[in-house]
Amino acid sequence: MRIATWNVNSITARLPRLLAWLESSGTDVLCVQETKCTAEQFPAAELRELGYESAVHADGRWNGVALISRVGLDAVVKGLPGGPEYDGVQEPRAVSALCGPVRLWSVYVPNGREVGHPHYAYKLQWLDALRTAVAEDAAGSLPFAVLGDYNIAPADDDVWDRAVFEGSTHVTEPERAALAGLRETGLVDVVPRPLKYDHPYTYWDYRQLAFPKNRGMRIDLVYGNQPFAAAVKDGYVDREERKGKGASDHAPVVVDLEV
């Protein structure tokens, strides 16, 4: 079974590449973030033609998440139970479902913007709510994983130059402590060091030739419980999909399981 996560940075803009990638990669379930469309605008019909069902949680703003599966979508939950609001709205940043033999979450963790900003406090509150929401499944016997754009680099070597990020979000101790809190529920980073590339970043800014210079960050993660981690046989960042015209600024992260 092949499972992937990908921040597509607008599913409308990325649709031709997304459809081609699904066909060429043989992915069974794709967790999508930053759809930037309403649920009604989501390309469910085009995906259905390829044999995929969709569970979408989106409102047309800059966020939005989805699960795209050809192995089933059952017990769908849209939204983060107990999640905080920002500007009076509970943003569409999480969707979960049973996909064949595994339960998966697709999450788009708030960016945080800058340390001290209200969005940074919201990010930490959101991560705390995520920890509470996944704790039971994380400790369970069913293979379970939370995949997505976490907007946090777990360690200093997950950014191209730690000094550049000094004082910025994505690398602060409170954010990393929140990731540690997720791991305390029984989740582990199942693709910590993909073997395909020396520096397995998942995101590169569009500006200043960041991708050609490999000035990236590893912020798209797959956190699975022990049954899920035990089933993982391979994992990698599909860096090739970041290349060329019309690419997202994120690359897909792929895991292969024997379940």
Residue 166 annotated in ligand binding = no
Q: Is residue 149 flagged as an active site residue?
A: yes
Residue 249 annotated in ligand binding = yes
- Domain with 62 in it: 2-257
Asked whether 18 and 241 are in contact (CB, 8 A), the reply is no
pTM of the predicted model as reported, rounded to 2 decimal places = 0.97
CATH code of 61's domain: 3.60.10.10
pLDDT digits (tens, 9 = 90+) for 58-73: 999 889 999 999 999 9
Residue 149 annotated in ligand binding = yes
Q: Which of 28, 57, 108, 201 is catalytic?
A: 108
User: Span 198-212, mean pLDDT?
Assistant: 91
Q: Is residue 57 flagged as an active site residue?
A: no
Nearest to 133 by CA among 90, 100, 170, 173: 90
Flag the least confident range among 35-44, 110-119, 162-171, 189-198. 189-198
Q: Is residue 198 flagged as an active site residue?
A: no
pLDDT score of 196 more than 80: no
Residue 87 annotated in ligand binding = no
Confidence of residue 198 (pLDDT cuts 50, 70, 90): low
Q: Which of 137, 149, 158, 220 is catalytic?
A: 149
Q: How many whole angstroms separate alpha carbon 84 and alpha carbon 221?
A: 22
Sort strands 232-237 and 2-7 into parallel, antiparallel or unpaired.
unpaired
Question: What's the structural domain count of the chain?
Answer: 1
